[in-house]
Amino acid sequence: MPAIQALAGESIDMTAPVTFFVGENGSGKSTLLEAVAVAAKSITVGSVQAVADSTLAAAHQLAREMRLVWSRRTHRGFYMRAEDFFGYAKAMQDSRDEFQAQVNALQSDESISEMARGFALMPHAGQLQALEQSYGEGLDTRSHGEAFLALFQARLAPDGLFLLDEPEAPLSPRRQIALLAMIKDAVETRDAQFIIATHSPILMAYPGAVIYSFDEGAVKQVDYKQIDHVVITRDFLNHPELFLRHL
């Protein structure tokens, strides 16, 4: 990827509370984000952790060539790709079903005393309660967008570094604005930091964000109004007939 090759021997400042990577598919923005996740040993919201994910082979190779310089090291936060969300939601539901099955089995087991049953139920009931406190009745009982935001809110730890790859994928425009509000609250009240790869002009509009473009074979900081995604979206909304007449 030309943009990644152009970073050889260079540095990129990601100290802003919110940093965006933007560019066309294949430009390298997700690859760099993945490499940061591997290098930072981020917890992954998905079925496989970043350090063990075979689909991130290129990111592992790139991470070995990188050196992260921290102004304040944190082990909190997470890395999440939008496509991993379904797998994570299923894993949470499988855990809930397993804990519930164990509870049901213990409650119906007449071979043990009430005291023994009570002690045996404690850890399973505790796990079910923890899942309910975090996710309510379950991620699978909500729409994709609602579940995504519920998961995001539940995992926002203070002082965390949050690496998000195209989080807008499951979200309507209204819910993207809700995500912006959550990010703003996390930055201001939990001292969180976000690095986000995105195609969404709505998310890119976060006030004061630093935006890096990966287009044209280089990684360079750009102004919001200069981003191709923003320009094309604005022009289309203002004059859709100019685009649609060529169909």
CATH number of the domain that residue 57 is part of? 3.40.50
Residues 16 and 49 in one domain: yes
Edge-first strand order for the sheet with 77-81 is 77-81, 161-165, 193-197, 18-22, 210-213, 220-221
Residue-level pLDDT at 128: 46
**Could you tell me if 150 and 71 lie in one domain?**
yes
Number of domains the chain is built from: 2
My answer on whether 127 and 240 are in the same domain is no
Span 210-216, average pLDDT: 93
Q: Residues near 45 by Cβ (< 8 Å), separated by ≥ 6? A: 78, 79, 80, 84, 85, 88, 151, 155
Same domain, 176 and 135: no
pLDDT band at 96 (very low <50, low <70, confident <90, very high): low
Same structural domain, 79 and 100: no
Query: Looking at the structure, do residues 74 and 108 belong to the same domain, yes or no?
Result: no
Give the residue numbers spanning the domain of 232: 2-85+145-244
Cα separation of 163 and 82, whole Å? 11
State the Cα–Cα distance between residues 245 and 247, nearest whole angstrom: 6
Whether 237 and 150 map to the same domain: the answer is: yes
234 in the same domain as 150: yes
Residue type, 58: A
pLDDT band at residue 142 using 50, 70 and 90 as cut-offs: very low
The answer on 76 and 197 residing in a single domain is: yes
Are residues 171 and 73 part of one domain? yes
Residue 93 sits in the same domain as residue 81: no
Full-model pTM = 0.76
CA–CA separation, 194 vs 20, rounded Å? 8
Most confident of 98-102, 146-150, 189-193: 189-193
Kindly state the percentage of the chain with pLDDT values over 90: 40
Categorize the per-residue pLDDT at 91 as very low, low, confident or very high, splitting at 50, 70 and 90: low
Same domain, 99 and 207: no
CA angle 48, 51, 54 (to 5 degrees): 65
Q: What is the pLDDT of residues 59-90, one digit of tens each?
A: 888 899 999 999 888 888 889 887 676 555 55
